[in-house]
Structure 1
């Protein structure tokens, strides 16, 4: 059920200036943007494209300023490539940190590092979320050994979910207008927001190995779906909280329950999407098989093998990808 708090939370994040949006549409296309993305308001920083969501004048400036964010001793950062189960993990972590089975009024977007927010207003313990690479994390993360949760999911399911979301934004300056085939091609070229899936995984993996004192927990989407209580208990222990509520949290955060009862998700969808059921779409393991053609699967599999040969983290999703025994 939607509440006033839900709407206030989201209106603060997604309040739009219609004149500004109209001006963004009328701006000439930047020649450096990849073909098929000319309408999207995005900016390339350090070799990676980022969507600006009408909230950032200069993404490079925001990322530099983010480095100076003061980190508290009890902060937690949850990081993952988009559509990896980020909203789900956010709610789980909120419940564990606060030892409750109630959904908090604060929303994913208000705790997001990727766009300018007044994060000093977020009450402790802060459950900060991001899709950014570690080079843009606040500098104090490594100094204070901030707990880091990394979400990982089969990239085929991730990309199908990401395509469905990006093609359903209400705002033309956010929306991907092309086909699934075009979307996949652009992703494999690193020409979509947040860049390549395996580049993201390997960046965070390298960061974790370079800082062995940093507490890191891998939240693997497929495992949490298959055995939620066991995986939630592990997350409780990582966060230094009791696991007494693990079974109740698992029940409350079942996908269908969140999809129908989480009012703040419905409120966000009403504001930024042209239909409902986008943020929490299906949540199924293996839905990629309904979208990938045989040729697309083979092309993606080859790229995956070549680009993840040196990644232990990427190997975690192999059992769910239907990879051939030899390529």
Structure 2
């Protein structure tokens, strides 16, 4: 467990924390990270899972509204239940039902996930939008000022020199273990579908969580969880960097088109086809 300096193709650097061969932001605690597989779970836990910058804060609000059976915002942020940030001793103090979150590769998930009746919601987002969102996020990250250009960042994002592993590795690691999970305890939701048809997707999510709510409450949840409205409300309690909410930016679909050059998009699609060949998700973001 040690800090490593990662250098992009132009010589810009960022410092990461190496824990058992997996890289994380250097401000994280190595002991907490290495103990994630042994975290204690409860049968009524809900685990939000997926790659960073995929919409977890948004999903966290929606799930908590469903669990509370109201359209009220929770007076705290998801960081209180993030497995990479909170030791098991702190997680144990959270009241049930807990809404937990993690970005680790699937083989690093808590071992009790295979034994408990935990419901896992896996959110997946277009990796191009993920790359753009993370670029802006990390450029503002006060603990490690990254000065590289978008092209430098894209090169890192698609290489093995990246935190939590690449998006491709993350998806494939999930596929390797998902067959061993009870399908009644696993739900996959796509960011783009949630944006396009929020009422329909929230209804399906509620059914998975075995929560029966009248339509008017579901419609109010849709209204309250609209990204710009939620961002405005959560502005009061969320962490800020340079006066801006750290976790909330645009929350739109297809923002990558404002950033990727034609040659970068061509390169990415070639890589996507190669890395996702045979994946159950291959067709999702594959374009001619």
Deviation (angstroms), 1:30: 4.1
Contact 2:122 2:187 in 1 (8 A): yes
| 1:200 counterpart residue number | 170
Q: Which residue does the alignment assign to 1:125?
A: 97
Q: Is 1:79 aligned to residue 53 of structure 2? A: no
**What are the equivalent positions in structure 2 for 1:96-135 lying under 5 Å apart?**
96-117=66-87, 118-135=90-107
- Cα distance change, pair 73–37 in 1 and its aligned pair in 2 (3 A): farther
Whether the 8 Å contact between 1:75 and 1:146 is mirrored in structure 2 is: yes
Give distance in 1, aligned partners of 2:184 and 2:24: 26
Q: Aligned pair 1:301/2:272, yes or no?
A: no
Measured after TM superposition, the shift of residue 48 of structure 1 is: 3.0
1:240 matched to which residue of 2?
210
Secondary structure at 2:285 match in 1? helix
Structure 1 length-normalised TM: 0.80
Number of the residue aligned with 1:276: 244
Q: Tell me which of 265, 268, 278 is aligned to 1:310.
A: 278
- Cα distance in 2 for partners of 1:107, 1:76 equals 15
Question: Residues 148 and 214 of structure 1 are in contact (CA less than 8 Å); yes or no, is this contact kept in structure 2?
Answer: no
For residue 50 of structure 1, the aligned residue among 24, 28, 45 is 24
Contact 1:80 1:150 (C-alpha < 8 Å) held by counterparts? yes
- Matched with 2:258 is 290
Q: Can you list the C-alpha shifts for 1:268-291, whole angstroms capped at 9, x where unaligned?
A: 11xxx2241552211111110111
CA distance change for structure 1 residues 160 and 138 in 2, over 3 Å: closer, same or farther? same
Cα deviation, residue 106, structure 1: 2.4
Find 1:226's aligned residue among 196, 200, 203. 196
CA distance in 2 between partners of 1:296 and 1:209 (Å): 34
Report the secondary structure of 1:177's partner residue. Answer: coil
Unaligned segments of structure 2, at least 5 residues:
none
Q: Which runs of 5+ in 1 are unaligned?
A: 1-26
Number of aligned residues: 281
Asked whether the 8 Å contact 2:4–2:18 carries over to 1, the reply is no
**1:210 Cα deviation from its structure 2 partner:** 2.6
Residues in 2 aligned to 1:108 and 1:37: alpha-carbon distance in whole angstroms: 31
Work out whether 1:158 is the aligned partner of 2:104: no
- Residue 264 of structure 1 and its aligned partner are, at CA, apart by 4.7
Please name the residue that 2:111 is paired with: 139
CA contact (8 A) 2:120 2:186 kept: yes
Give how far 1:52 is off: 3.2
- Cα distance in structure 2, aligned partners of 1:132 and 1:306: 23
Q: 1:116 to 1:38 in 2, by over 3 A?
A: farther
Q: Which moved more, 1:111-120 or 1:62-71?
A: 62-71
Q: In proportion to residue count, which structure has more strand?
A: 2
Q: Using the alignment, how far apart are the partners of 1:132 and 1:201 within structure 2?
A: 11
TM-score (norm 2): 0.91
Looking at structure 1, the residues matched to 275 and 140 of structure 2 have their Cα atoms a distance apart, in angstroms, of 30
How many angstroms does 1:154 deviate by? 0.7
1: distance between equivalents of 2:34 and 2:128? 32
Measured against aligned partners, the alpha-carbon deviations of 1:160-186 in whole angstroms (never above 9, x if no partner) come to 011000101122x3x322111101001
